[in-house]
Structure formats: C-alpha cells, structure tokens
Amino acid sequence: MHELLWLVPTLPLLGSVILMLGAGRLSIRAEAATGALSVGFAAVIAFTIAGGFLLSPPAGAAYEQTLWRWFDVGGLSVTIGLRLDPLSLVMMLVITGVGFLIHLFATEFMEGEEGYGRFFAYLNLFVAAMLLLVLGNNFLTLYTGWEGVGLCSYLLIGFWWRDPANGLAARKAFIVTRIGDTALLIGLLLIASRLGTLNIAGAMHNAAQSWPAGSPTATLAAFLLLGGAAGKSAQLPLQTWLPDAMAGPTPVSALIHAATMVTAGVYLIARTHVLFLLAPAAQYTVGGIGAATLLLAGFSALAQNDIKRILAYSTMSQIGYMFLALGVGAWGAAMFHLLTHAFFKALLFLSAGAVTMRLHHEQDIFKMGGLARRLPVAFWSFLTGSAALAALPLVTAGFYSKEAILSGAWADGNSGRVLWAAGVFGAFITGLYIFRAVFIAFFGEAHTEVSGRYGWRVILPLTVLSVLSVLGGLIELPPAFGHVTLLSNLLAPVLPATKEAASVVPLLVASLAGLLGIGLAAVLYWRPARPPAETPLWRFWHAAAGFDWLYERLLVRPVLWAARAGADDMIDSVYDAIAWTARQVHEQVRRTQSGRVRLYTAGLAIGSISLIAIAMIR
C-alpha cells in the first residue's frame, strides 16, 4: 500500500484543478462532490496506508518515495520526495481526516454563496499543499508546501472579496506570515550551505555530527526556523494576523486557522528537534514564546464579543501550549495536543459556524442567547468542544493532552516550573473565557430569530468530531490513569521520549485550575446578557495588548513615511529627466508622421540618394 503515498497529495490537487478548469461549467452538486470526495478518497488511501504502516512498520520506521529529481546543480541535488514516518503519518491523518469532515460541512455551509466552486478549488489546493508540507522529505518540498498553504490562506481569508476589509485582512495575514517565511528561507539556505544537503533526515544527521551543542551556527539556524514557525503558528511577536483572519468563511477558520496550517510551526520544530536540542537558547525561547502567547491570547479572548475571535485567540493560546511543550522537550506531548486540538478546535469552529448559519451570520455572542434549547445540535457540539478546550478532567481529550504538556513542563527543572505555572494559569483562563462564551451565547434570553434546519452534512461532522474530542485522548493516558502510551510508542522512533512528572500533585492542581475557571464563568455569566463596559483595561485586552497599535507606529508608518519622503530624491530625478527628454524628442518626431504617402516616398528617395551619394564621394 505504501506505493500509493503519492496519491494522497495528488488527489486534492486533481480536485482543485478540475474545479478551476470547470469553473462555470459544473453544477453545484458536481462541484460539491469533486471538492469533498477528492479529500475523502485521499483520506481513505491515507488511512489504508496508515493501517499497513502500523501493522508492519517499514525498516527504520520510515518509508521514502522519490517522485522525481527537481534539480542537481553545484553538488546540491534536490529531489521531490515523500517521507512517511510516524510524525508525518499523524499529520497526514489529521489533515485528510479532519479535512474531509470540514469539507463535508462546507458543502452545506457554503450553499447559495457566490463562488461555490472557487471556494472548494482553494480548499482542495490547501489540503494538497498542506500534505506536501508534512510529507516532503526535504526542506525545499516542505517550503513549497509552506508557501502553498500561505497562498491558500490568503485566498480564502479574502474569499468574500466584495468587502474591502476582508481583502485587507488577507493581505495582513500574508505579509505578517511572510516575515516569518523569509526567516525560514534564510534558515533553510543556512542549513543547505553549511550541512550540504536539504534532505531533512540527512541534514539533522549532519547537524548532530558537525555542530557541537550550543554552537552559534546551530543557534542561528534554530532561531531562523523558529521565526518561520512563529509566523505560521501566530505566536509572539508575529501573532497579530490570526484574529483578522477570521474574515474568511468559518470552514476555512476551522481547517486552516485551527486544525492544520497554524500547527505547521509546531510540526516544523518537532521535525527539526535535533537542531533545537543543539541550541538550548532557541529551545528556551520556544517555551518562553509559548507561555507568553498562551497568556496574552487567553486574556485577549476574555475581552472579545465575536464568537470567532474568541476561538481565534483560543487557537493562539492552545498553540502556545504546544510551543511550551516543545520548549521543555515534551515533543510527544506537543504532537498529542496538536492532535486533540485539531479535533476539538475544528469542532468548536464548525459548531460556531452551525450557529451563525442559522442566525444570518450574526457572530456577536451578546446578540445570541438562549440557543441551547433552539439549536440543540450546535449546543451539544459546542459544549463538547468547550469542555475539551477547558480540559474538563477525565472525560475529554483536551484534558489528557494538556496534562501531558504540563507534566512535561513540571519535570523540566526550575525553568520548567515557571512555564508550568504559566500553563496552569492559562488553563484557568481557558476555562473562564470559553465558558463565558457558552453561557452568554447558549443560555439566558434569546435575542435573535433562528431559522432553518441542519442537513446530515452538518450533523455528521459535528458528531464524529464530538466523539473524537471525547475519546481521542484515550490513546495516551498518564501513569495515574492506566498509563496507555499508544501515541508515544508510535512516535518513539522519530521523537525523543517525554519526561513525565513523578507526582500527582501538579496534575491535580492543573485540573483544579481548569474547573475553577469554568466555575467562575458560571458565577459571572450565568445571568449575563449585557455587553461589558468599555473600561481602559477591557479595551487594552480587546485589542490584544495593542500589538496592532504598536506595529502600526513602529513599522507601518515609518515605512510609509520613508516611501513618501524618498519619492522625489536625486536618483528619481535622473530617471525623470530621461523620461522628460524622451517625451520631448517624441513630440518633435511625431510631426513627421503626417500620414501623407507622397511625403514618405520623398523622404525615402532623398534619404537613399543621399546615402548613395555619400558612399560614392568617400
């Protein structure tokens, strides 16, 4: 079955091409079928391959498939190749599995929208690029996928292009992530020039051989990769684009800005963990960035009224947890949380989408209210997702993955304890902000009319994701509850083992923190229904600590000022003079173009006679 690996990214790509070429010629049904089934078939193949991989793992726990040679120049040979190992296997299953459910949801969600086929063309292209990113066996293939998902993110955020604000949000996302992408590219070039290969496994092997721990080159390379990861995963200081990215349709937010693309940074760091182990400074920074982002995003989520922005900040916060895990060397825990987060965050976004579908795209939670009785499907899905996000002890997947991270942080010495404290406080805030949304939006008095019913294409993805959000955590249980280690056993060949806290105390404290947050939310927002007063503190967190304000003054305005100030400098006047001369000569010469044939003939005759005369006289 392994030989079919190339089909997994190819099928969505094919779907995208069909949808692009058939634009305007296909019926809505055909477009929906092409869009969803191309990813569906890719998922079927991916799961079949995964079954084969788990039953009989290939030698070295990795299967490589070289598709063709891209270029071979100056001793650097780059092939387009796919590599299936446990890490990319997990990512591939998340992308195709959760991706298919979201596509299915979108076929109903997007009904009646202008550009239905275009939407699925972009979405399929995204899945293909994302699969290329995680399956690529060298950095250049990875980078191709990396830029591909960035492009699709841009296209889909600005999908409703008639509103200029959406285009602006798309541009912001593209430019901010581009800053990270540039750092990543420089990092990749550094690796290629110093280690002589772009093959990821080969480069990691060479790095461990030739760079001593803490060497400046390794540190520089790790920091550059971290820059790329922070940009893609919306971590400090490149986090400002994610909340604005919610301008896109909700399935896009679920697939790209929650489940898959934004976790690419986590994947990148896990994939290059050898490099980060060689550069402890960079690894500490990863943990620090994660802790700072998870707190900042948590506070910001508390001060939002738009349900999708709440979820956007919570995504930032949860990816902060993953970065924290990477920073303390709990690689497996980061991937575990990535997996469960993909389930419950996709569920949250889809159920939020299911709510707004029936409320004429109203996203303000204070205008919802009382939806629990009127939209039971959306309510139970959202509640399940919220419970998993808030890490409700024992019964949710989010609990086990968050515990794995915090336990890894606790075991990582003194600096780990600081990160652990941040994570525990973050867990408290998470419970508070997500159940604030639950209580305000789904309980209390109704504020908006509800219309319509859900079809099976909405209910099925919500049900499957709800089940996964509850049971998905059972693949990995801490020692206190039976000690199941399916995921860490699977990841053992590619990622170093995760340290675990020996005592149960940190686990209890963290569980209590989440419960305390939920309890406080119940006390504060059970009888709510009034939007918060606009105190300066509220405004500060509503604007996510004013990073947009800061960047506007620190970067955007100086650049614009410099562009304006430099518009008429001396270099420009040289070129202006050339243009002016050309225009003057043109004005004179065009008089000779009189349109009179006889004048032209005379000119020709005089000219040739003069030429012959000159030739003869000389």
Partner 1 sequence: MTAIPLDQGLGLAAALFALGLAGVLVRRNLLFMLMSLEVMLNAAGVAFVVAGARWAAADGQIMFILVLTFAASEVSVGLALILLMHRRNSTLDADANYHLRG
- Write out the residues near partner 1 by the rule CB under 8 A: 590-598, 601-602, 605
| Least distance CB 19 / partner 1 (angstroms) | 48
| Least distance CB 610 / partner 1 (angstroms) | 14
Joined together, the tokens standing for residue 491 give: 């990841």
| Least distance CB 182 / partner 1 (angstroms) | 48
| Least distance CB 590 / partner 1 (angstroms) | 4
Nearer to partner 1, 453 or 586 (CB): 586
Distance CA(39)–CA(10), nearest Å, equals 10
| Least distance CB 589 / partner 1 (angstroms) | 8
202 dihedral zone (left: phi>0; alpha: psi -120 to 50; beta): alpha
Distance CA(582)–CA(419), nearest Å, equals 66
| Least distance CB 546 / partner 1 (angstroms) | 60
Distance CA(499)–CA(332), nearest Å, equals 10
Nearer to partner 1, 29 or 590 (CB): 590
Nearer to partner 1, 564 or 598 (CB): 598
Cis peptide before 237 (omega within 30 of 0): yes
Nearer to partner 1, 29 or 591 (CB): 591
Task: Report yes or no: 239 and 320 within 8 Å, Cβ to Cβ.
Answer: no
Nearer to partner 1, 564 or 590 (CB): 590
Nearer to partner 1, 453 or 598 (CB): 598
Distance CA(298)–CA(301), nearest Å, equals 5
| Least distance CB 577 / partner 1 (angstroms) | 24
Q: Which residues contact 350 (CB under 8 A, 6 or more apart)?
A: 101, 102, 105, 250, 251, 254, 381, 458, 461, 462, 465
| Least distance CB 599 / partner 1 (angstroms) | 9
Give 422-455 as a DSSP string: HHHHHHHHHHHHHHHHHHHHHSS---S-------
Distance CA(468)–CA(456), nearest Å, equals 18
Strand partners, 68: 80
Nearer to partner 1, 598 or 618 (CB): 598
Residue type at 48 in one-letter notation: T
Q: Which residues contact 365 (CB under 8 A, 6 or more apart)?
A: 305, 306, 307, 310, 437, 440, 441
Instruction: Please tell me whether residue 167 adopts helix, strand or coil conformation.
Output: helix
Distance CA(52)–CA(44), nearest Å, equals 12
Rg of the chain (C-alpha set): 28
Nearer to partner 1, 162 or 598 (CB): 598
| Least distance CB 613 / partner 1 (angstroms) | 14
Q: What's 62-116 look like in SS3?
A: CEEEEEEEEEEECCEEEEEEEEECHHHHHHHHHHHHHHHHHHHHHHHHCCCCCCH
Joined together, the tokens standing for residue 7 give: 């089909």
Nearer to partner 1, 395 or 605 (CB): 605
Distance CA(568)–CA(580), nearest Å, equals 15
Nearer to partner 1, 533 or 616 (CB): 616
Joined together, the tokens standing for residue 435 give: 């159940």
Nearer to partner 1, 530 or 586 (CB): 586
Instruction: Please tell me whether residue 138 adopts helix, strand or coil conformation.
Output: strand
Nearer to partner 1, 175 or 605 (CB): 605
Nearer to partner 1, 76 or 582 (CB): 582
Nearer to partner 1, 532 or 603 (CB): 603
| Least distance CB 191 / partner 1 (angstroms) | 59
Joined together, the tokens standing for residue 146 give: 């990396």
End-to-end CA distance of the chain: 84
Residue corresponding to tokens 């968050």: 402
| Least distance CB 602 / partner 1 (angstroms) | 6
Task: Report yes or no: 260 and 130 within 8 Å, Cβ to Cβ.
Answer: yes
Q: Which residues contact 452 (CB under 8 A, 6 or more apart)?
A: 357, 358
| Least distance CB 591 / partner 1 (angstroms) | 8
| Least distance CB 594 / partner 1 (angstroms) | 6
Q: What is the dihedral of CA 309, 311, 315, 318, to 10 degrees?
A: 130
| Least distance CB 601 / partner 1 (angstroms) | 5
Distance CA(612)–CA(398), nearest Å, equals 93
